[in-house]
């Protein structure tokens, strides 16, 4: 314990732990983000802190997203307020790092099509606070309606969005000369199944999928 305390002092009062992630609820956080009005969207996918470090950076998650069929928003334009999440890491509520949308096979302008006809998308939140610094990325994934429906979530859209992202991610993928190998494991007990507190009143099954992404 003395050695740990000395190391923590030397490294600014905290140590980065080699772990998949810390349970946000242990630190007063939640597996629901804050979408406003007292409701939230499930953080239903976690990119493990044990993934290759380059995947967990801002540029890294964007390149990985492009490898699995997502990209940055159409011409960099974001409509609507960002959502926030408390990951129980001592940082308190933090706005999403980035939002990425299904690109329909075109990483340059494909997300413009998603903005029109709907599709899958996800928000990224990083767990890197002083009390729980896993480096893991928590994703709020959902499938949304088209623009005429105001981009609301489709029925069962949280589970559908998660499962579609995972199906696209598992195995070997690549983009811009970087090849990824991804494994998935479902985790239960982090969030209660059902619709209580969930945005749009859409029930979800309580499963969070953990992705471990390795650059090969």
pLDDT of residue 13: 42
Q: Is the pLDDT assigned to residue 8 strictly greater than 60?
A: no
The answer to whether 129 and 121 have CB atoms below 8 angstroms apart is: no
Q: Please name which of 47, 67, 42 lies closest in space to residue 57, comparing C-alpha atoms.
A: 47
The answer to whether 103 and 118 have CB atoms below 8 angstroms apart is: no
**Residue 4 falls within a domain, yes or no?**
no
**Residue 119 falls within a domain, yes or no?**
yes
Total number of domains in the chain: 1
Per-residue tokens: 145: 């309606």
Residues 2 and 88: their CA atoms lie apart, in Å, by 25
Average confidence (pLDDT) over 141-169: 89
Per-residue pLDDT reduced to its tens digit, 39-55: 999 999 999 999 999 99
Average confidence (pLDDT) over 206-213: 98
**Residue 1 falls within a domain, yes or no?**
no
**Residue 7 falls within a domain, yes or no?**
no
**Residue 9 falls within a domain, yes or no?**
no
Residues 49 and 211: their CA atoms lie apart, in Å, by 9
Listed in sequence order, the residues at least 6 apart from 105 whose beta carbon sits closer than 8 Å to its beta carbon are 69
Per-chain mean pLDDT for the chain: 89
pLDDT of residue 195: 97
**What domain range is 179 assigned to?**
17-215
CA–chain centroid gap for 159, Å, is 14
**Residue 71 falls within a domain, yes or no?**
yes
Q: Which of 118-122, 140-144, 160-164 is least confident?
A: 118-122
Q: Please name which of 70, 54, 36 lies closest in space to residue 213, comparing C-alpha atoms.
A: 54
Per-residue tokens: 55: 């995947």
Q: Is the pLDDT assigned to residue 83 strictly greater than 80?
A: yes
**Residue 5 falls within a domain, yes or no?**
no
**Residue 31 falls within a domain, yes or no?**
yes
| pTM score | 0.89
Per-residue pLDDT reduced to its tens digit, 136-151: 999 999 998 876 655 6
């Amino acid at each position: 314990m003395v050695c740990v305390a000395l190391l923590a002092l030397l490294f600014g009062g905290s140590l980065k732990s080699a772990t998949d992630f810390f349970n946000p609820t242990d630190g007063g956080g939640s597996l629901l983000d804050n979408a406003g009005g007292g409701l939230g969207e499930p953080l239903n996918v976690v990119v493990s802190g044990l993934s290759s470090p380059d995947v967990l950076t801002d540029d890294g998650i964007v390149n990985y997203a492009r490898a699995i069929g997502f990209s940055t928003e159409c011409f960099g334009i974001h409509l609507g307020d960002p959502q926030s999440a408390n990951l129980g890491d001592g940082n308190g509520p933090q706005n999403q790092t980035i939002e990425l949308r299904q690109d329909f096979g075109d990483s340059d302008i494909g997300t413009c099509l998603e903005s029109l006809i709907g599709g899958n998308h996800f928000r990224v939140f990083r767990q890197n606070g002083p009390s729980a610094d896993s480096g893991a990325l928590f994703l709020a994934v959902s499938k949304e309606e088209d623009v005429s429906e105001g981009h609301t979530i489709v029925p069962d859209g949280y589970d559908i969005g998660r499962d579609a992202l995972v199906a696209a991610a598992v195995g070997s993928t690549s983009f811009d000369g970087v090849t990824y190998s991804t494994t998935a494991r479902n985790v239960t007990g982090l969030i209660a199944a059902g619709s209580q507190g969930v945005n749009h009143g859409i029930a979800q099954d309580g499963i969070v999928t953990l992705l471990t992404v390795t650059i090969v």
